[in-house]
Amino acid sequence: MIQVGNKIPESILTYIPYDPELKDACGIPQPLNTDEDWKDKKVVLFGLPGAFTPTCSLQHLPEYAQRYKEFKDKGVDLIVCLSTTDAFVMDAWGRSLGVKDKVLMVADGNGDFVKDTGLVLDLSAKRMGAIRSQRFAMVIDHLKVTYLGVEPGGGLTVSGASAVLAHL
């Protein structure tokens, strides 16, 4: 598993840029290259097992959007939510919760990022897929991990916005 001090692996993720003009229409997925797009940034990245799931929708994602200004005040350039689904699902989920451009909703559709970082969660026994993301949060500063919190079980003890803010 990736550790504090490691460089994040280069990954190509996808997202649909926030567009307030799009109401019910879908935007066009865009590639995001972690090495190129995050090289000069402080990024708070949090991963979760699934979009539209109870803990993820009711607690994890909303808290990051609600505390956006606190992250910005601590020098964070970008807050990113990652899940192993497609960019259309991530976009629809973000719009349904009204996160707007506060949180970049990113898809790791093939699970490459979670595989390369060792953050895969196998939920095949629950019929939810073998390649899901563990619930985690990391702070990435100029591509280096400065904080990593991987949830040991249910709940938001180390990956919620409060825990990450305490480490910034």
The pLDDT value given to residue 130: 58
Sort 105 into a burial class: Cβ within 10 Å, 0-12 / 13-18 / 19+: buried
Mean pLDDT of 131-151: 93
- What pTM value is reported for the model? 0.93
What are the pLDDT digits (tens) for 96-112? 999 999 999 999 999 99
Instruction: Kindly tell me if the per-residue pLDDT of 114 is higher than 80.
Output: yes
What mean pLDDT comes out for the span 59-74? 95
Average pLDDT estimate for 163-168: 97
- Give the model's confidence band at 155: pLDDT under 50 very low, under 70 low, under 90 confident, else very high: confident
Quote the pLDDT of residue 125.
62
- Does residue 122 carry a pLDDT above 80? no
Give the mean pLDDT of 34-52: 93
Ranking 25-29, 136-140, 144-148, 163-167 by mean pLDDT, the lowest is: 25-29
CA–CA distance, 98 with 86 (Å, rounded to integer): 19
pLDDT at 136 over 80: yes
Distance CA 99, CA 93 (A): 9
Which residues, at least 6 apart from 62, have a Cβ–Cβ distance to it below 8 Å? 97, 99
Q: Considering only 29-33, 48-52, 154-158, which range has the smallest mean pLDDT? A: 48-52
> Does domain 27-166 correspond to CATH entry 3.40.30.10?
yes
Confidence check: pLDDT of 152 > 60? yes
Domain ranges of the chain: 27-166
Q: Which residues are catalytic?
A: 56
The answer, yes or no, to whether residue 158 has pLDDT greater than 60, is: yes
Of 107, 157, 155, the residue nearest 132 (C-alpha): 107
